[in-house]
């Protein structure tokens, strides 16, 4: 195939735009924050069951403490009632019974208060445990939110670059002869469509051409489209080619 050298040189810009399009597409679908966000999600999933268990323990202690406090209230009410009755009772036997019951209530209240204190200490520790786990998850959520915002901004930037590169490519491709563009597109679908031959080296595959291959390229007319014997891309020749 033959094509004007100027048209062949445009393929370099086309290849550069294609590379930028691939990079932008990758950046749009794979923002740099994605891996860390996945790690944070996995870590949060690991921590959440423990938080649920700690909250369950705390809630059970709260419920138990509530029952003990209710029992204390019942004991106090009964004690007040017995004290009031003791002030008015005339029978020594009844008085002795009330005093015995008051002593029993005092022991009962002491036991309940001991249990209440123990439960309060456990509840304090449970609250601390829940707060610590919530803090860990909160830190993960905060980092995740920040990374998500950064990722959205990165995706938006990549999308803008992608749209611009596609527009530029469409404009540039319209100035490339159809047969040359078709050849480039066919080669680009398999790898690199076109690359500069610089200092006897194909910049597509970074291979130095052999003496025989260089001689063939050197003898080819300027408007002949030549390809790299190693990677098959179109070799664009300029003053930098070293021919």
Q: What does the pLDDT look like over 145-188, one tens digit per residue?
A: 999 999 999 999 999 999 999 999 999 999 999 999 999 999 99
Last residue of a domain, one of 162, 185, 202: 162
pLDDT of residue 93: 83
Let me know whether 133 and 204 are in one domain. no
Let me know whether 145 and 224 are in one domain. no
Let me know whether 118 and 198 are in one domain. no
Percent of the chain with pLDDT over 90: 86
Let me know whether 207 and 121 are in one domain. no
Q: What is the number of domains present in the chain?
A: 2
pLDDT of residue 55: 97
In a domain, 167, yes or no: no
Here the tokens at position 6 are 């100027």
What does the pLDDT look like over 192-242, one tens digit per residue?
999 999 999 999 999 999 999 999 999 999 999 999 999 999 999 999 888
Which residue(s) pair with 195 in the sheet? 235
Q: What is the spatial distance between Cα 239 and Cα 184, in angstroms, rounded to a whole number?
A: 22
Let me know whether 133 and 214 are in one domain. no
pLDDT of residue 83: 85
pLDDT of residue 128: 97
What does the pLDDT look like over 64-102, one tens digit per residue?
999 999 999 999 999 999 888 888 877 888 778 878 888
Last residue of a domain, one of 162, 187, 208: 162
DSSP of 135-174: HHHHHHHHHHHHHHHHHHHHHHHHHHHHHHHHHHHHHHHT
- Are 18 and 193 within 8 A, CB to CB? yes
Here the tokens at position 143 are 């980092």
Let me know whether 82 and 191 are in one domain. no
pLDDT of residue 97: 83
Alpha-carbon separation of residue 195 from 13, 129, 187 (angstroms): 10, 62, 11
In a domain, 168, yes or no: no
Let me know whether 156 and 195 are in one domain. no
Let me know whether 127 and 216 are in one domain. no
Let me know whether 12 and 66 are in one domain. no
Domain range enclosing 183: 5-23+174-241
In a domain, 207, yes or no: yes
Let me know whether 219 and 141 are in one domain. no
Let me know whether 17 and 53 are in one domain. no
As a whole number, mean pLDDT of residues 28-45 equals 94
In a domain, 32, yes or no: yes
Q: What is the pTM of this model?
A: 0.69
């Amino acid at each position: 195939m033959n094509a004007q050298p100027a048209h062949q040189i445009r393929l370099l810009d086309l290849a550069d735009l294609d590379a930028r399009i691939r990079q932008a597409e990758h950046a749009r679908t794979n923002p740099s924050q994605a891996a860390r966000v996945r790690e944070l999600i996995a870590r949060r999933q690991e921590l959440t069951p423990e938080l649920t268990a700690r909250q369950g323990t705390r809630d059970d202690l709260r419920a138990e403490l509530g029952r003990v406090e209710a029992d204390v209230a019942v004991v106090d009410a009964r004690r007040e009632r017995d004290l009031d009755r003791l002030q008015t009772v005339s029978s020594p036997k009844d008085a002795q019974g009330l005093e015995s019951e008051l002593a029993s209530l005092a022991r009962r209240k002491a036991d309940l208060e001991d249990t209440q204190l123990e439960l309060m200490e456990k509840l304090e520790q449970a609250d601390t445990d829940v707060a610590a786990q919530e803090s860990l998850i909160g830190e993960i959520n905060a980092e995740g939110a920040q990374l998500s915002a950064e990722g959205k901004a990165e995706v938006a930037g990549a999308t803008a670059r992608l749209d611009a590169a596609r527009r530029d490519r469409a404009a540039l491709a319209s100035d490339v002869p159809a047969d040359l563009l078709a050849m480039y597109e066919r080669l680009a679908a398999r790898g690199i469509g076109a690359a500069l031959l610089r200092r006897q080296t194909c910049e597509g595959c970074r291979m130095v051409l052999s003496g025989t291959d260089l001689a063939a390229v050197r003898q080819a007319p300027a408007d002949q489209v030549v390809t790299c014997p190693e990677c098959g891309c179109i070799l664009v020749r300029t003053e930098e080619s070293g021919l």
